[in-house]
Structure 1
Amino acid sequence: MKRIAVFCGSSVGASAAYIAAAEELGRTLAAENLTLVYGGASVGLMGAVANGSMQAGGHVIGVMPEFLEKREIAHTHVSELIVVSSMHERKAKMAELADGFIALPGGPGTLEEFFEIFTWAQLGLHKKPLGILNVEGYYDLLVSLFDRMADEQFMHEKYRTMTLSDTEPARLLEKFRQYEAPEVKTYIRRPEQT
């Protein structure tokens, strides 16, 4: 594991704990000699995780669509800024570069990025670990929703724990090191469906 992609908000959120957690994650990645791959912005939790990593001597790769760079929110002090043509290309590039994925608090964009990676893992398109840094219980309801999905048979039981979760960056990364991907999702046709 060499590079970790982080999905997070372009806002700082309502609690100072979110900024502190983003900075701590950045520092932890740097301390563990892991490159941060993120959305390339200088604002919000995105800027905080990048700053945390860089201030601790880490390597940071930002991936940003051209239309956002033109709005002058690109982080100009990261180790490398990759400018792409679209949001789709940004996600694909981040997925290609990363060996694992972490979601910090964020809004719909953060969840969209995270769920795409989660879905790809279920389908066997990658075997990389993915996790949630559950700051101040921000993702408690999402973790409960995963349980409900499995209970209601909209998600296979073996995928219930595919998304790793912790409140501490170092512990989450240790879970990443222990992670073994479940078997690829298959569909079994019932006799009445043939």
Structure 2
Amino acid sequence: MSAASYAVCVYCASSEGVPAHYKELAEEVGREIAARGWDLVSGGGRVSMMGAVAAGARAGGARTTGVIPRALVDREVADTLADELLVTDSMRERKALMETHADAFLALPGGIGTCEELFEVWTAGTLGMHAKPVVVLDPDGHYSGLLAWLRELVERGFTGAGALERMVVVADVTTALDACAPPPPVSRSVL
């Protein structure tokens, strides 16, 4: 990743059984990341939604970085077409590398792995450990039960309202990527 590039880390499903419309969504996200001139950081697999987002990004000319634990190289069919494929010894190392290579995080519909990755970067952002955008793209209510539970945590006093505000939840690709965008440059006035 060059110093001038901007990279979005996309968390999503790598399970083969997901419906085709989710794979299409992932591919659209990849294409739109490329259209903005950004790079993609992903989990390093080339199957299911994970493979689709990387394929969409590459089709649009984006640079792709995949990060995958050695134990999953065969299971998730490593994305050997990635511009950079980083193989780690553990899931913890994988998540740390994904975080350091990314300027923003976008979670698509997914399962427990996607939720675990999302919760880790969201928690770190809420605690002030990074200021990177954390965005959830939920076009069809996939996360509605989880979001209801999170609101209940606020009501019961287990989580502050600011934590929920730190995670942006949107329903369409354009709004999701707008929420991931870098902040506008600060203009400097000359005295």
1:148 CA displacement? 1.3
Q: Is the 8 A contact 2:47 2:76 kept in 1?
A: no
| Percentage identity across paired residues of the two chains | 39
Equivalent residue in structure 1 for 2:149, among 123, 145, 150? 145
Q: Is the 8 A contact 2:106 2:180 kept in 1?
A: no
The question of 1:73 aligning with 2:74 is answered: no
Q: Is the 8 A contact 1:37 1:61 kept in 2?
A: yes
Matches within 5 A, 1:54-69: 54-69=58-73
Which residue is 1:28 aligned to?
32
Q: Is the 8 A contact 1:12 1:19 kept in 2?
A: no
Which residue is 1:93 aligned to?
97
Equivalent residue in structure 2 for 1:162, among 155, 159, 166? 166
* 1:111 aligned partner, one-letter code: C
Matches within 5 A, 1:1-194: 2-71=6-75, 73-177=77-181
Distance 1:13 1:145 in 2: 26
Unaligned runs of 5+ in 1: 180-194
* 1:65 aligned partner, one-letter code: P
Paired residue secondary structure (1:135): coil
1:71 CA displacement? 4.1
Q: Is the 8 A contact 2:9 2:106 kept in 1?
A: yes
Paired residue secondary structure (1:58): coil
Alpha-carbon distance change, 3 to 72 in structure 1, aligned in 2, over 3 angstroms = closer
Alpha-carbon distance change, 63 to 36 in structure 1, aligned in 2, over 3 angstroms = same
Which residue is 2:186 aligned to?
none
* RMSD of equivalent CA atoms: 1.7
Q: Is the 8 A contact 2:18 2:48 kept in 1?
A: no
Alpha-carbon distance change, 72 to 23 in structure 1, aligned in 2, over 3 angstroms = closer
Alpha-carbon distance change, 36 to 152 in structure 1, aligned in 2, over 3 angstroms = same
Paired residue secondary structure (2:8): strand
Alpha-carbon distance change, 53 to 71 in structure 1, aligned in 2, over 3 angstroms = same
Unaligned runs of 5+ in 2: 184-191
* 1:162 aligned partner, one-letter code: R
Paired residue secondary structure (2:180): helix
- Normalised by the length of structure 2, the TM-score is 0.87
Counting matched residue pairs gives 179
